[in-house]
């Protein structure tokens, strides 16, 4: 069963009677889906227009030298965004058709107990990103506070705490609040960045042209490594695509959803990444907040730009970094959604985000992305192989909610394939994501076909005996 549950009352009853499971983890009904196509597109634009992505653009400039020039950056970005959109559209389908969240989707391949491991591998990076985005937002809020108080206040830590508390309160209102925050943020931030783009062109075009646009760059490993970093940056998000597509109104084709992903990511990510590289070229500083303060030497404009940065940090966290770990905590602890949101926020306090990006280099952020994406690549390929090749897009969703049903325990094939894919990815970490995808997916197919005869996880697949 891979269609809307409304036509399957028996399965609905089984799921509604699932013990100890919060309502947020049960399938979304058609009536409960409130996000339309335009709102969905704005949501992803709001997610893409953020300082983390700008910092990724800044990472192209290392010690004042560009590893890729403008043309190479553009080609790499288009390739990466195309791949991202394809994986989004493929992996969001089960969640869109059935309304289940990602943590329940994992049970199809990994089993109820095995999904705990794979869920944590998605939840932990999201919490770190949550902390990182909040730290960037706190840095920007501190710039505002310094100007407003005439320099008498200067505490990034206090601003970081304030940002966290605001986000926790907003996220308590669920996806409805997220939708409106994203629409507002995407419009406001894009307007602010257009201004910054104009300032950079007007006053810093020569140094940008010298250090980035006309740089020799490379079509070798740095080019492909940037594509992998780009993919790794989104790997966690499209892995949990079901968490978002389950909120989208029904009746939208797979092709249209793919276009929604591609267009919004291209608009937001392309523009923000470009500004990040331009800022680093012009100033030699990888932290965009501090680079803004150098480029825009006007206290009123600095306040406005910093306000945009604060809104952007909140916007991306609301979409990408709060919902997935909250679902994981809800599943593992059996507590309600709202307390889980609060716990997620407090865990982000402990992520030490200031370690990832220093003033002179954002390599820490890039390394972090490459390491965790080595595990996420194999997981997403396992899910896709399972759904499209082994089950032919047919899943009995009710079984996912039965603690002693066909998906009880853990699937050793999935665990082994994930580890094999991750080990292969670490052999060449700069290309780790794509290596993990190919090796992990292939290993899973072969393990399911040739090992663990009689495993209950083969029930309903092409290998069922």
Residues of the chain with pLDDT under 70: 1-20, 51-52, 62-65, 174-179, 182, 185-186, 289, 352-367, 369-370
Would you put residue 452 in left (φ > 0), alpha (ψ -120 to 50) or beta? left
What token pair was written down for 104? 């329940």
**223 DSSP β-pair partners:** none
Q: 321: which residues sit within 8 A by CB, 6+ positions away?
A: 126, 127, 129, 130, 133, 348
Cα separation, 89 vs 224, whole angstroms: 23
Report pLDDT for 15: 62
Q: Which two tokens stand for residue 240?
A: 């949990």
How far apart are alpha carbons 84 and 347 in whole angstroms? Answer: 28
pLDDT at 390: 97
Is the domain spanning 36-361 CATH 1.20.120.80? The answer is: no
Main-chain dihedrals φ then ψ at residue 62, nearest 5 degrees: -115, 120
Q: What is the CA radius of gyration of the chain?
A: 22
How many Å apart are CA 159 and CA 157, to the nearest integer?
Answer: 5
Residue 6 pLDDT: 40
Q: Helices 156-171 and 102-148 sit at what angle, rounded to 10 degrees?
A: 140
CA dist., res. 40 & res. 379, Å (int): 25
Determine the pLDDT at residue 366.
61
pLDDT for res 363: 55
161 vs 71, 279, 365, 446, CA distance in Å?
40, 27, 21, 48
Give the contacts of 253 (CB within 8 A, at least 6 positions apart). none
End-to-end CA distance of the chain: 20
pTM of this prediction exceeds 0.85? no
Cβ distance 294 to 58 under 8 Å?
no
Residue 262: per-residue pLDDT: 92
d(CA 6, CA 23): 16
How much of the chain is in helix, strand and coil states, percent to nearest 5? 75, 0, 25
Would you say 107 and 404 are in contact if contact means Cβ atoms under 8 Å apart?
Answer: no
What is the DSSP code (8-state) at residue 29? P
pLDDT tens column, 416-448: 999 999 999 888 877 778 899 999 999 999 999
pLDDT of residue 415: 95
What crossing angle do the helices spanning 102-148 and 51-58 adopt, rounded to 10°?
Answer: 80
Q: Report pLDDT for 4.
A: 47
Lookup result for tokens 């070798």 = 220
Question: Residue 275's CB: how many other CB atoms inside 10 A?
Answer: 23
pLDDT of residue 63: 55
Q: Please give the helix or strand (H or E) that residue 456 lies within, else none.
A: none
Q: Which residues contact 380 (CB under 8 A, 6 or more apart)?
A: 87, 91, 235, 238, 239, 437
205: closest CA among 74, 309, 55, 70? 70
Q: What is the pLDDT of residue 19?
A: 60
Q: Tokens for 119?
A: 């869920």
Which run of H or of E encompasses 294? helix 288-295
Query: What is the H or E stretch that residue 230 is in?
Result: helix 221-239
């Amino acid at each position: 069963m891979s269609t809307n549950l409304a036509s399957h009352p028996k399965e609905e009853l089984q799921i509604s009677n699932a013990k100890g499971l919060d309502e947020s983890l049960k399938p979304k009904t058609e009536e409960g889906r409130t996000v339309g196509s335009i709102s969905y597109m704005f949501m992803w634009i709001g997610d893409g227009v953020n300082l983390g992505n700008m910092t990724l653009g800044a990472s192209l400039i290392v010690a004042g030298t560009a590893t890729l020039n403008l043309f190479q950056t553009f080609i790499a970005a288009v390739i990466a965004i195309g791949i991202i959109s394809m994986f989004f559209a493929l992996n969001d389908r089960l969640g869109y058709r059935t309304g289940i969240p990602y943590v329940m989707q994992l049970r199809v391949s990994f089993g109820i107990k095995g999904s705990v491991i794979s869920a944590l591998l998605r939840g932990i990076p999201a919490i770190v990103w949550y902390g990182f985005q909040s730290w960037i937002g706190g840095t920007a809020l501190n710039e505002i506070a310094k100007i407003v108080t005439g320099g008498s206040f200067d505490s990034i830590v206090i601003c970081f705490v304030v940002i966290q508390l605001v986000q926790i309160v907003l996220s308590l209102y669920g996806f409805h609040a997220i939708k409106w925050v994203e629409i507002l943020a995407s419009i406001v931030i894009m307007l602010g960045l257009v201004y910054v783009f104009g300032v950079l062109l007007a006053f810093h075009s020569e140094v940008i042209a010298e250090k980035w646009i006309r740089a020799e760059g490379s079509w070798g490993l740095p080019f492909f490594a940037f594509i992998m970093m780009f993919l790794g940056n989104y790997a966690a998000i499209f892995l949990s695509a079901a968490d978002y597509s389950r909120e989208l109104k029904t009746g939208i084709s797979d092709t249209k959803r793919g276009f929604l992903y591609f267009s919004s990511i291209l608009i937001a990510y392309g523009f923000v990444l470009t500004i990040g590289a331009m800022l680093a070229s012009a100033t030699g500083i990888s932290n965009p907040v501090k680079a803004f303060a150098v480029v825009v030497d006007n206290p009123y404009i600095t306040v406005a730009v910093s306000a945009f940065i604060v809104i952007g940090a909140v916007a991306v966290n609301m979409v990408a970094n709060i919902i997935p770990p909250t679902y994981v905590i809800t599943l593992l602890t059996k507590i309600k959604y709202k307390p889980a949101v609060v716990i997620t926020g407090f865990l982000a306090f402990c992520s030490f985000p200031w370690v990832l990006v220093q003033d002179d280099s954002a390599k820490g952020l890039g390394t972090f992305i490459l390491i965790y994406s080595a595990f996420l690549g194999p997981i997403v390929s396992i899910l896709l192989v399972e759904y499209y090749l082994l089950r032919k897009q047919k899943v009995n969703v009710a079984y996912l909610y039965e603690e002693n049903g066909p998906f009880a325990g853990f699937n050793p094939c999935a665990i082994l394939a994930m580890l094999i894919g991750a080990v292969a990815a670490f052999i060449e970490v700069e290309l780790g994501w794509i290596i993990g995808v190919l090796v992990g997916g292939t290993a899973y197919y072969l393990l399911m076909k040739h090992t663990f005869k009689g495993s209950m996880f083969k029930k309903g697949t092409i290998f069922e005996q």
